[in-house]
Amino acid sequence: MKFAVIQFPGASCDLDLYHAVTDVLGEQAEYVHHQETDLSAYDAILLPGGASYGDAVRAGALARTAPVMEGIIGAAKDGKPVLGVGNGFQVLTEAGLLPGAFLKNRDQKFVCRSVKVQVVNSRTMFTSEYTEGEELDIPIAHGEGNFYCDEETYSKLKENNQIVFVYSDGNPNGSVGDIAGLISEKGNVLGMMPHPERAAESILGSEDGLNVFKSIVKEWRESHANQA
């Protein structure tokens, strides 16, 4: 399986994603410059965390205008898995690939620590290697991680089982419904504020995030086996 790791100016977690995919998972990955528009050679798209464009205007707003977004939106429409982590999640909401928006953290402070996250939907291409209700230990690192949506949108997210991860031991940023991660209606776009690539091997203190990437690979292999 071949992953594209998008490189936006100012993003800082692209190396972490690349390492998790190649060195830990043993799959292929390439860095893709933000000026590229054709992502057809890749099976999955990863949008990293970090402050793309210095979070100017607001987190993710300028990255949404980068040429590479044309390819990302096209990949999402084609049903390819698209994962946005941290700032990548913010970019996906700015691009309209996921609902909602992000506000500054409730306490107006940058938060960088491990948090408890519960899997509330294990029937997705990103979470099939987890069990529903499983509690994970995964780091966060953000200043604008306060996910917001109106009541109608929140009700729709719950009704469609689009909420995938929730904070389970205190809400670190004020997110509506304790939301830590959600998927698109189609199910192939996931945004999450916790960083699974920073919890992908024991030397980091937790391997709880690795199954996000294993789930993507499992789904891809099964879909290709069915096509064969």
Residues annotated as part of the active site: 195, 197
Q: Tell which residue, 81, 68, 61, 77, has the closest CA to residue 33.
A: 68
d(CA 37, CA 74): 9
Q: Tell which residue, 146, 68, 45, has the closest CA to residue 100.
A: 146
Tokens describing residue 38: 């054709």
